[in-house]
Structure 1
Amino acid sequence: MSHARSARNRPAQRSAPAPGRYPVRFGVAELLRDADAANAWMVSVDGVAQSYVDLDDPTNLEFDYVRRIGDVVDHLPPGPLDALHVGGAACTLPRYVAATRPGSRQHVFDADGELVELVRAQLGLKVPNLRVRVSDGRAGVASRRDASADLVIADAFESAKLAGGLATAEFTADVARVLRPAGTYLANITDGPGLPFARRFAATLAEVFPHALLLAEPAVLRGRRFGNLVFAASRTELPVTEVTARTASSPFPARCVSGDGLRELRGRATPIRDEAPAEAPAPPDDVLGLF
């Protein structure tokens, strides 16, 4: 159930984060310090990694899939962004956008109010022009005005699975409504061998947006292992050449698939709809800690 309680004006950040386990709405969260960084923290829920935040350097994106999202953001037209985030956890990406694009205005919708309060108390949420609301993603997007955002990022998981209703054509159309004509939609999903869910997600995006690209590690694209896949979609041309070069030269390279390659990948897959939703896949037990 959604509720749009404002998460501003809460108690100030602690003098130092306290590692430990904390009950939250969707399980038990654990806050762990990175032994290799002076002030970097991992947040997980029920053993599933949710966020990595470097409080000294918000441009340090530890998770590979988050770095892929950052690669696309970096190659959007210059200047501040009006950004909407569906799923926030420790707000790694809002912190990144604020650091790399000063003056950006950002809203986060996250359904786990207890997790939001934990992050606020332990890691702080004093990010310029950031508002965080406790609400499920669909209700949050539905509340936004037409053509009010340059960027929408969907990265919301519950019990290691994509939050319900975020993969359908109806939700995707609402994202398109909120985006400005040149706006960009970024979504993180996960899938395994054969990529059945990713193929249908690609078909769903194609029904709404004329341009799209997909970023993933080669082993995930080949169906050799379960992993993250980052999609970008827009009504206008995406920076495919620049993103391809950036991701190919990464310490952990990813492939960029677009155009004919993406059409071939989705094949005859059909869009996901509210009346016949597709079950988002859960990762195998042996890789749970990676997501």
Structure 2
Amino acid sequence: MARQRTDRIAPEVPRGVEFPIATGVAELRDEPDGTTFLWVNGVPSSPLEADPEHLAFEYMRHLSAAVTAWSRPDRMLALHVGAAACAFPRHLAHRLPDSGHIAVDVDSTLPELVRQWWDLPRAPRLRIRAQDGLEAVASRRDASLDLVVRDAFAGDETPAALASPEWWAHAARTLRPGGLVLANVGTRPGARGAADDVAAARAALGDVLAIGEHAVLKGRRRGNVVVAGPADDRLDADALRRYAASAPLPTGVRSDWAG
């Protein structure tokens, strides 16, 4: 059954009409189920929904499942690299009211717009700023974060600087003991980018887990894979596998995924 549409989400913004942002163009589109999507440079970027519990993108549900399976501190601090409309930071802030979130986006226009569009938590629970994604981790102090989430794309690919050994090394350096890095990795058959990305993750963090549709994990079609690390005793792999077994689409959890 379609969810009831709400006029609460950016009613003043015309749908299906491109508007300029610092890194190109964006638009809002409404879907029949009541979800509003932010598109950036022709690519769907963020779902905007009234209910913060609901996540329209499958990979965001994988991210949420990984946080659930992680033995996190009661008052965690998270850095989100690739804020867009802040759908996932909003979701986590709702689920974990004592958590703090910093969301950064390379586009200097979006942080101003998203605050106008919908009901995001205010600072200090959620701070949003324009910042380069590599600078965001490189400028952090050692052991200053509990969670790092990377969900940044240029078109349909992760920018090379954010999939580099340098980015992963800084992300690992910023983690407090028991911390977690989650990365949304776009992959397609025959491409090398995901393989280099996950190799850099392992070099920086050690063991990692990959969560995604079976066909995508096997390299048979393009899609998104969530890489989670370090996959130590604070990340419950069995809980993730139970989540995957009940997911709407055929989903797997692998420790040997090579991109």
TM-score by length of 2: 0.88
Higher mean alpha-carbon deviation, 230-239 vs 180-189, is at 230-239
Distance in 1 separating the partners of 2:183 and 2:9: 32
Distance in 1 separating the partners of 2:106 and 2:225: 22
**For the Cα contact (< 8 Å) 1:190–1:227, is it kept in 2?**
yes
Q: Give the number of aligned pairs.
A: 247
Deviations 1:4-38 (A, max 9, x none): xxxxxxxxx9873523332112221111223322x
Among candidates 13, 23, 27, match of residue 24 of structure 2: 27
Distance in 1 separating the partners of 2:157 and 2:254: 23
Residues 153-232 of structure 1: pairs in structure 2 closer than 5 A? 153-194=149-190, 196-232=192-228
**For the Cα contact (< 8 Å) 1:195–1:223, is it kept in 2?**
no
Q: 1:143 to 1:17 in 2, by over 3 A?
A: farther
**For the Cα contact (< 8 Å) 1:98–1:127, is it kept in 2?**
no
Distance in 2 separating the partners of 1:141 and 1:133: 13
Distance in 1 separating the partners of 2:237 and 2:38: 32
> 2:110 maps to what in 1?
115
Instruction: Give structure 2 stretches of 5+ with no counterpart.
Output: 1-7
SS in 2 for 1:113: coil
Distance in 1 separating the partners of 2:41 and 2:10: 26
1:204, distance to aligned residue in structure 2 (A): 1.1
Deviations 1:118-149 (A, max 9, x none): 22222243346110111111111122221111
Is 1:77 the equivalent of 2:71?
yes
**For the Cα contact (< 8 Å) 2:93–2:121, is it kept in 1?**
no
Percent identity, please.
38
Higher mean alpha-carbon deviation, 17-26 vs 84-93, is at 17-26
Higher mean alpha-carbon deviation, 241-250 vs 18-27, is at 18-27
Distance in 2 separating the partners of 1:34 and 1:220: 25
Q: 1:228 to 1:14 in 2, by over 3 A?
A: closer
> 2:120 maps to what in 1?
125
**For the Cα contact (< 8 Å) 1:29–1:115, is it kept in 2?**
no
TM-score by length of 1: 0.79
Distance in 2 separating the partners of 1:99 and 1:68: 17
SS in 1 for 2:189: coil
> 2:53 maps to what in 1?
59
> 1:236 maps to what in 2?
232
> 1:105 maps to what in 2?
100
- Greater RCO, CA 8 A, separation 6+: 1
Instruction: Give structure 1 stretches of 5+ with no counterpart.
Output: 1-12, 267-291
**For the Cα contact (< 8 Å) 1:52–1:62, is it kept in 2?**
yes
